[in-house]
Structure formats: structure tokens, C-alpha cells
């Protein structure tokens, strides 16, 4: 039994079953035993690998897209360059390297990282040594300035609530105990939130719907700044338009595992409901676009060919594999999507032209 499993079990014995959201929050952010609070490695040597850790090309193209939006907005200074949930800081390092030669961009931006884990903040500081970086934990701390923002696999880490339909009511899914082992259950009394009642039209008996309130709040906050001050947010994640079904997933050592096993030692995520994000933002939003399509539109193949010229042997093989992994429909190309938030008065950002 992991130390966190002991803590969660005791909590359930005292207070009764907890919501899936409370369980997920404890697994990821318990102050001493949470996955992100204690985890100092993810990436190649850790439990899962993300797009920026696969290849520098991902961050380079994100950087150029954000800088293009800054140029299109009239090169506002000061502007905020924000990353939500920066992990090891690799994506921000690639963004900054790729945009170094864009006249005036680095001088105009305040580099801001929103990170909840003190340990990951230390790693980001090491990755970004030499840059002047501001860390925040809450978006109310954002400057009142045009906002150029990226989030990669951030929204999937925010705790979700799950509800199961029974007739015309919804019961919240919980985590309880059965013979001292963690198990899923359902709350006895219904929780008929307005968002759930609206889903009676497109669901059937027994269906599960997921709601991520924190994602809604964050999208509203960044969308407000972008709409009022200008800017762009690029949100990359796995998921689709409108959540249906149970999508909670745990990964340990690059393999799926039971989300109720080894709490605190596996990464727990859920698919992102891009429709909920679009409804939450007061700004304009783009179509939800497959990551592979967006990267191709930004010219990843030309960039891959340029980088390939300097490589041979294993390094070249890895590079070709990385290109495929980021873009191919059988890999991350279709499963992962990107959606942009931009001012209602601005044209569509690069890669999202209608």
C-alpha cells in the first residue's frame, strides 16, 4: 500500500466516499505524496512523454506561432508570454530559443510560468537559467497586458467530476472502500447540475459525463485577458468536442494502469472536453484541429528536413521517429488536438485559417 493510499483510505473511513475530483486532486497534488509534488522526472526517463520532450520542433513551431500573433497585434510592449503547467520547462526553452531573433519580442515579453508544484518549479528554473522568469500559481496574478499563452497537457491534469445518468437524474461517481480496497461507487442522492440537465438530450441511461470546473474557470480567465488586451492562447491536449464516457486514465512507466492502484505514483489524467473550454471563454475560439494537421500547416516537414541534414545514424532515426510521433494519425497526430483562443476583433491565428 502506498503512503497516499493509506491517507486516502483513512479519509474515506472518517468522512465517507470522496468525489473522483477530490481523489484525482489528492493523487496529483497531495503536499507530500502527490504525483506532481514529488515527481522530479517525467519525460523519457519517467512515466510518460509529452510532445515538447519528443522533439524541439514542437516548441519551435509554437514559439513562431505565438510570435507571429504578437507581430500581428502590433508588437505590444509589455506583453505576457505565459505557459500553463510547464513540466520540465522544455517547451518554454524551445519557444525562447526559436524566437530569439525576432526583433523586439524578447524585450517586450514578461516570461511567466503558472506551476503548482514547487519541485517542478525548481527544475524549470534550471532549464531556463539565464532568463528572467516570473512564477505564478493563480491566474489572478497575471499582468494586465496582451497575453500570448500555451498549455500542453495541462488541462488533462485538472481534476474532473464524473456523473452517471439514471433516468432523468445524475449521480456523482465516488471513490470508496470495499474490504479495505479502493473502489468506485455512486452517490445515493442525485446532483442535477444545470450542465448535466442539458446533457439529457444527447445521453442515454447509464452514460457517464465528465465536468472539469477548474478548466472552465481558467479558460474564462485567460479568455478575458486576451479579449480585452489582445493575444493568443494555444491549448494542446488529448480529447475532443463534448465529453461522453469515462476517460480517467492512469499511466506508470509508459504503461496504462488502474487509476485506483498506487495512488500518487501514477500520472492520472482525463480527456479534455474542448466544447466546455470554448463555451467558457469570452474570446473567439478556433476549430478544434488535430495536432498533426496544425504542425504540418506550420511547416514541420520543412523544419524536419533542415534538421535531418545535420544528423546521421541513430540520431537521424530518432529524429524521423519523432516527426512521425508528433504528426502521424496512428501516433499523437489525431488523438491530440489544438484549439486557439483569440480576440473577437482579430483574424484567425496562423494554422487555424478557415
Interacting residues with ligand SAH (CB under 6 A) = 36, 50, 52-53, 85-87, 91, 114-117, 120, 152-154, 157-158
The candidate with the shortest Cα–Cα distance to 336, out of 49, 33, 9, 20, is 49
DSSP H stretches of helix in 35-193: 35-38, 51-54, 56-72, 90-98, 105-108, 118-127
For ligand SAH, the closer CB: 115 or 331: 115
- Provide the b/e sequence for 331-342 (b: ≥16 CB within 10 Å): bbbebbbbbbbb
d(CA 149, CA 132): 17
Tell the residue number behind the cell numbers 471513490, with chain if given: 175
Q: Which of 144, 148, 291 is nearest to 233 (CA)?
A: 148
Tell me the closest approach of the beta carbon of residue 52 to ligand SAH, in angstroms: 5
Q: What minimum distance in Å lies between the beta carbon of 192 and ligand SAH? A: 27
Write down the least CB distance from residue 309 to ligand SAH, Å. 27
CB of 24 to ligand SAH, least distance (A): 10
Nearest distance, CB of residue 265 and ligand SAH, angstroms:
15
3-class secondary structure per residue, 216-242: HHHHHHHHHHHHHHCEEEEEEEEEECC
Q: How far is the CB of 136 from ligand SAH (least distance, A)?
A: 9
Cell, residue 221: 480567465
Nearer to ligand SAH among residue 152 and residue 252 (C-beta): 152
Q: How many residues does the chain have?
A: 354
Residue 198's CB is within 10 A of a number of other CB atoms, namely 10
Instruction: Give the integer Cα–Cα distance in Å for 307 and 297.
Output: 18
Closest residue to ligand SAH, judged by C-beta, is 85
Q: Which is nearer to ligand SAH, 53 or 246 (CB)?
A: 53
Closest CB to ligand SAH among residues 116, 316: 116
Q: Which is nearer to ligand SAH, 135 or 190 (CB)?
A: 135
CA atoms of 322 and 328, how far apart (whole Å): 10
**Residue 196 vs 216, nearer CB to ligand SAH:** 216
Task: Compare residues 23 and 36 and give the one whose CB is closer to ligand SAH.
Answer: 36
Q: How far is the CB of 53 from ligand SAH (least distance, A)?
A: 6
Query: What is the CB-side half-sphere exposure of residue 264 using CA atoms within 13 A?
Result: 17
Amino acid at each position: 500500500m502506498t503512503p497516499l493510499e493509506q491517507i486516502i483510505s483513512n479519509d474515506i473511513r472518517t468522512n465517507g466516499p470522496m468525489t473522483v475530483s477530490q481523489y484525482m486532486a489528492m493523487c496529483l497534488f497531495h503536499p507530500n505524496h502527490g504525483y506532481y509534488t514529488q515527481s522530479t522526472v517525467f519525460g523519457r526517463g519517467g512515466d510518460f512523454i509529452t510532445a515538447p520532450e519528443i522533439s524541439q520542433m514542437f516548441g519551435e513551431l509554437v514559439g513562431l506561432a505565438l510570435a507571429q500573433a504578437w507581430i500581428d497585434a502590433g508588437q505590444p510592449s509589455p506583453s505576457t508570454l505565459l505557459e500553463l503547467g510547464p513540466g520540465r520547462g522544455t517547451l518554454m526553452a524551445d519557444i525562447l530559443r526559436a524566437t530569439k531573433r525576432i526583433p523586439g519580442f524578447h524585450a517586450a515579453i514578461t516570461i511567466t510560468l503558472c506551476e503548482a508544484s514547487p519541485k517542478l518549479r525548481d527544475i524549470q528554473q534550471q532549464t531556463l537559467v539565464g532568463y528572467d522568469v516570473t512564477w505564478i500559481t493563480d491566474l489572478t496574478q497575471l499582468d494586465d497586458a496582451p497575453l500570448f499563452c500555451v498549455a500542453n497537457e495541462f488541462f488533462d491534469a485538472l481534476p474532473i467530476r464524473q456523473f452517471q445518468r439514471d433516468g432523468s437524474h445524475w449521480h456523482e461517481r465516488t471513490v470508496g472502500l470495499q474490504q479495505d480496497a479502493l473502489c468506485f461507487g455512486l452517490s445515493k442522492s442525485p446532483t442535477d447540475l444545470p450542465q448535466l440537465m442539458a446533457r439529457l438530450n444527447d445521453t442515454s441511461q447509464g452514460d457517464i459525463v465528465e465536468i472539469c470546473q477548474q478548466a472552465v474557470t481558467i479558460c474564462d480567465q485567460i479568455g478575458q485577458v486576451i479579449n480585452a488586451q489582445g493575444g493568443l492562447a494555444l491549448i494542446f491536449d488529448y480529447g475532443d468536442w463534448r465529453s461522453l464516457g469515462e476517460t480517467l486514465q492512469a499511466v506508470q512507466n509508459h504503461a496504462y494502469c488502474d487509476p485506483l492502484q498506487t495512488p500518487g505514483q501514477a500520472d492520472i489524467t482525463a480527456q479534455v472536453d474542448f466544447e466546455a473550454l470554448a463555451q467558457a471563454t469570452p474570446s473567439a475560439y478556433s476549430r478544434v484541429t488535430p495536432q498533426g494537421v496544425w504542425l504540418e500547416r506550420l511547416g514541420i516537414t520543412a523544419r524536419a528536413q533542415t534538421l535531418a541534414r545535420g544528423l546521421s545514424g541513430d540520431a537521424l532515426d530518432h529524429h524521423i521517429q519523432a516527426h512521425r510521433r508528433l504528426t502521424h494519425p496512428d501516433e499523437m497526430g489525431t488523438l491530440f488536438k489544438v484549439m486557439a483562443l483569440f480576440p473577437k476583433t482579430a483574424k484567425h491565428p496562423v494554422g487555424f485559417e478557415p
